[in-house]
Structure 1
Amino acid sequence: MKRRFALSKRMIFCLISAAMLLAPLFEGQSMAANESKYPASASASSYDTRCACDASKAVDGSLSTRWSGEGDGTWLKLDLGSAQSVSLVKIAFYNGDSRTFTFDIQTSTDGSNWLQARNAVTSAQNNQLQSFPIPVAEARYVRIVGYGNTSNDWNSYTEVEIWGGPTDGGSGNLDPAKPPSGNFDLTKWKITLPDASEIPASALAGGYEHPDWFYTDPVTGGMVFTSPNIGETTTNSTYTRSELREMLNPSTNSASSWANNWVTSSSSPSIKSQAGGVDGTMKATLRVDRVSVSGNEADKIGRVVVGQIHGPSTEPIRLYYHKRPSDSRGAVYFGTDDLDNNNTWVNMLGGPNQLNPVNGIALGQTWSYEIKVTGLLMTVKITPEGGSATTVTHTLPSGYNDKYLYFKAGVYNQNKSDTTPDQSDHVKATFFSLTHVHP
């Protein structure tokens, strides 16, 4: 008996409706930053010969081609070439913005004996790659068994990717129903918002959200920061921000107190004994969802800072993502100040004068950064999802010894003009993990 028609129409409607509500909880669960995509070949039980929609079209890297197979139980099988640790399947669906698909995910080591990894999964309603986590399994083969969609009996996938690898703690499973503090440890952060107000660590850790500037993404559970081009700014800045500021001892009211900040291990013993930490590492996994697209200064359009180390009056690092409207990919680079506030640009994936790099990061693409300071040696690592890491080291001036330092993360909009008709230009980023440690 065909699986689809074994149920009444009312039961099918109820199941699909429930699945559509639950799908976002699975679709956006984030993965560890060092998981990677496995190369794979594909075969299928059947395909639509009219459009030459064979299995290879599901693994050709293009969302403009597709594999299509008709009927309940029609399958697409991916071969990884050898057994791998598999934890995530990504699928993009043909016409997925107007219908949902139902399918099973199965794994196998030999291509004959199959284990059910996910049963009766229903897609969300969009055309992009959607993520479907599975229990970690050693598998050479992954099979998608389709049961059609809400419009017809066809199973049509534009791309399928298999991901996995060792995990490093990452962000775990994020709950879209919780405030940011329900998914992230925000007990030692405060936040500055685009109206220049500050929310202290106690309120932030207690579940604070702002519907426009700081909230949980309803699909992925990520922590969302947005900041308009035009807004209120803090002292000594002309740019708006929705940005966390590290507070290592938030019970101490003064942000400039030694207890709320950290120092380099090359600082004097007396200063180190007063500080809230010595040396530090901040790691984040994020995606930049939007950058500014208008303004009066061309070099500032599309530019945003997503991570910083700040000192009393200068910044050892400002980590930039920079994508102009005409660029297909954004550059990632950093600026670093000396104690006289003289800036030096350091290229990573492109630079301020090397925009739209071929190895850049697209809007909506997940990537990670790590900023580590040991003594005066600062190491910065950038890792695009599925790509290799780029690491740069930079020696800080000795003047940073005995100066208090603190991490910042979020969006610090670097465009202070807006030429859109409704003055709505803004930046937005979603964080899937954020940690800060001071060994």
Structure 2
Amino acid sequence: MANEKGRPYEIDPPEILDFANNEIAKPYMYIDSTKGAIVFRAMPTDSKTKNTKYTRSELREQLVPGENNVNWTFKQGGNMKGKLQMEDVTRDSDGKYHRVIIMQIHGRLTNEQRDLIGEDDNNAPPILKIYWDKGKIRVKSKVLKNLNASDTEILHEDAWDDDDGFNFEQEVGFKKFTLEVQVTDGKMLIILNNTEFKSYESIHIKKWGVFENYFKAGNYFQSRDEGAFAKVNFYELEVSH
């Protein structure tokens, strides 16, 4: 959720532990005690953060509480597993449900990489976006435009392009489902409901090893339609390395 200056409201540890009583967080991240879930709510506002045209209510992984400069590489690996449910989401003018990104792996430049390519921030592309897309789960990753790009050239955001995406077969709709993301050296595996799998083991994933990464989970709402919103319930969320 962004404030009026376009900067995100960020609640760090230890304050995040008491998010349910935080006045800024309350409309966007709260506990539904009857369901035993944390609810992430997002809807368009007049303000948005620098690198997006959409609004969001998300958790950002921190290996060291309160510190964004310590992250992990694919060689180090990582695992994120959640049990979640689309609680409610609006439809567009064609009657189709709005899309929501519910999990991500976001790349990050080290301070040295940032300075090397003359960037003013540490942002790198997201290597993984997992969408709730009209009742199904859709996965998007990145591909390197030029496989002969140098180690310095691949640090630039415009060196990477979106892949064609992948749709899981089963429909989750508004039911509870589990998602697991397993990262190992040169490989990324996404598992839906312990029954369907999508594996990424291409040269593009191997090249991605140059970046540091962090997990994100919540509600990154993909609409600017007036009056639109989405609510995503998280019943479980676990990250390990």
Partner secondary structure for residue 207 of structure 2: helix
Separation of aligned partners in 2, 1:247 and 1:366: 26
Partner of residue 302, structure 1: 98
Letter in 2 for 1:333: R
Deviation at 1:417, TM superposition (A): 2.3
Partner secondary structure for residue 199 of structure 1 = coil
- Tell me if 1:211 matches 2:26: yes
Which residue of 2 is the match for residue 408 of structure 1? 216
RMSD in angstroms over aligned alpha carbons? 2.1
Aligned counterparts of 1:349 and 1:207: Cα–Cα separation in 2: 33
Could you report, residue by residue, the CA deviation over 1:370-424 in whole angstroms, capped at 9, with x for unpaired residues?
A: 01110110000011xxxx6111101252332131100000000011222xxxx3x
Question: Is contact 1:348–1:390 with CA below 8 Å preserved after alignment?
Answer: no
TM-fit CA distance, 1:299? 11
CA distance in structure 2 between the aligned counterparts of 1:194 and 1:410, rounded to whole angstroms: 15
What is the aligned counterpart of 2:191 among 381, 389, 393? Answer: 381
Tell whether the 8 Å contact from 2:219 to 2:232 is kept in structure 1 after alignment.
yes
> How much has 1:290 moved relative to structure 2?
1.5
Query: For 1:263, which of 73, 77, 98 is the aligned residue?
Result: 73
Question: Which one of 342, 360, 367 corresponds to residue 171 of structure 2?
Answer: 360
Aligned length: 203
Distance 1:229 1:290 in 2: 15
The aligned counterpart of 1:202 is: 14
Candidates 167, 184, 187, aligned match of 1:348? 167
For structure 1, which runs of at least 5 residues remain unmatched after alignment? 1-192, 266-277, 324-329, 351-358
When residues 302 and 246 of structure 1 are mapped into structure 2, their CA distance, relative to the original with a 3 A threshold, is same
State the AA in 2 paired with 1:232.
S
| Residues 426/207 of structure 1: CA separation in 2 closer, same or farther (3 Å cut) | closer
- Equivalent residues of 1:194, 1:231 under 8 A apart: no
User: Match of 2:141?
Assistant: 336
Residue type of the alignment partner of 2:138? Y
Larger RCO (alpha carbons 8 Å, 6+ apart): 2
2:58 to 243, 247, 253: 243
Distance 1:249 1:300 in 2: 40
CA distance in 2: counterparts of 1:291 and 1:194, whole angstroms = 20
Give the distance between the partners of 2:96 and 2:164, measured in 1 at CA: 15
Q: 2:80 aligns with which of 278, 282, 297?
A: 282
How far is the alpha carbon of 1:346 from its aligned partner?
3.2
SS state of the match for residue 311, structure 1?
Answer: strand
CA–CA separation in structure 2 for the residues paired with 1:437 and 1:280: 6
Asked whether the 8 Å contact 2:19–2:26 carries over to 1, the reply is no
Corresponding position of 2:119: none
Q: Hey, what's the Cα distance between the residues in 2 that align with 1:426 and 1:299?
A: 14
Structure 1 residues 284 and 393, CA, compared in 2 at 3 Å: closer, same or farther?
same
Of 372, 377, 395 in structure 1, the residue corresponding to residue 201 of structure 2 is 395
**Which runs of no fewer than 5 residues in structure 2 stay unpaired?**
109-123, 145-158
- Residue among 312, 319, 322 paired with 2:133: 322
1:417–1:280 CA distance, 2 compared to 1 (3 A): same
What's the % identity of the aligned pairs?
26
Give me the whole-angstrom Cα distance separating, in 2, the residues matched to 1:231 and 1:240: 10
How far apart, in 1, do the equivalents of 2:234 and 2:142 lie? Answer: 26
> Following the alignment from structure 1 to structure 2, what is the Cα–Cα distance between the partners of residues 437 and 217?
25
- For 2:213 and 2:95, the matched residues in 1 are separated by 28
Whether contact under 8 Å (2:86, 2:232) holds in the other structure is: yes
Distance 1:433-1:224 versus aligned 2 partners, 3 A rule? same
Q: Is the 8 A contact 1:194 1:228 kept in 2?
A: no
The alpha-carbon deviation at position 309 of structure 1 amounts to 0.1
Q: State the TM-score, normalizing by the size of structure 2.
A: 0.77
Q: CA contact under 8 A between 2:81 and 2:181: conserved in structure 1?
A: yes
Post-superposition Cα deviations, 1:12-40, rounded to whole Å, max 9, x if no partner, equal xxxxxxxxxxxxxxxxxxxxxxxxxxxxx
